[in-house]
Every structure is written in C-alpha cells, then in structure tokens.
Structure 1
Amino acid sequence: KYSNIEYLSKTIYLLGELPSLSLDETKQIVSALIIYLTQVSYGSLVHVLLWLIANYQIANDDERVWIQNIIHTMGKYIKSFIELQRTTSASI
C-alpha cells in the first residue's frame, strides 16, 4: 500500500503518459484508474477529475460526451462505494 503522496505522483505520471483520449485503450485505462482510486486514494481521484475537466476544454465532441459520461458514472460509483462502506461499518 502506498501513501497518498505516492498514489498522487503515480497518478500524475500515468496521466501524463497517456495517449489521446480519442483512443479506446486510453478511455479504458482512465475508467479502470477511477475505479481503483475510489478504493484507495480520494486525493488522486480528485486529480483525475481535474484532469478530465481540463481535457474537456480541448476535446472534440465525441471525447466531450465520453468525459461527461465518465464524470457522471464516477459520481455514482463513489456514492455506491461510500454507502457500501457505511453499511459494512454499521454491521461490524
């Protein structure tokens, strides 16, 4: 397990190395990263959100739709994860 600083630096490095958001492979990596970071580092997750917002400004229409969808999905996933943790904590 890494510290929050280590997660953040690894996240920044990974995002800097990613090819264009127009590639399906890049979209899959970002989606997997969001799911992973939801479980280990909210600070790094916020950085991914900011990165997506910055990319939205320069994205083409197809990429913008994907960014909007991933941010919406990200919010739903985080909410579900937090509710699951509360339920698990309450039953212990």
Structure 2
Amino acid sequence: MNSKKALILPRYQKIFAGLGENIKLARKRRKLTAEQVAERAGIHRATLHRVEKGDPSVAIGIYFNVLKVLNLEKDFANLANDDKLGRKLQDLDLL
C-alpha cells in the first residue's frame, strides 16, 4: 500500500497545531477525558492524540467527529464560509 504523507509548510503546520491545541483546551474545559472523547467520536485514543497535536494527515471527518462531541460542529460549518477573495474575483469577472 502506497501511503503519502501530507506535505505541509511550517507556517501552515502552525495553524494545524493551533487547531489541535484549541480542541484539547475545549475538551479540558468540558472536563472530558481523552478516552471519553475518543469513544464518543468513534476513534482510537491515539488518533485523538494526533488530532490534539494538529496532525494534518488525520482525515477531516475525524476532526469533525471530535468537534461534534465537543458541541463545536458549528465552527466546522464556518470553514471557508467567508470567501472574500473568491467573491472579488467573481465580481471582476462580471465587469
């Protein structure tokens, strides 16, 4: 099986690391153990650890499941919601 590792530049890895840290803090604020969140998200504890480290090779659906357990799925719905650049490009094309 040919497994490709996600190539992420360091400046973008910081974004993933920040997301992972935010997820970890949200879990702790809710006083949930890693085992509880992993079980409710339907993943292994090791996978949750990778999510909380901001591993970009973890599937986006797993990030969503973890956010859902933490009642943060609305945050997920806001990803790429405000596409200012795309709208400007679209408007320029209309001229």
Is TM-score (shorter-chain normalized) higher than 0.5?
no
Q: TM-score, normalised by structure 2?
A: 0.35
Which structure carries more helix by proportion?
1
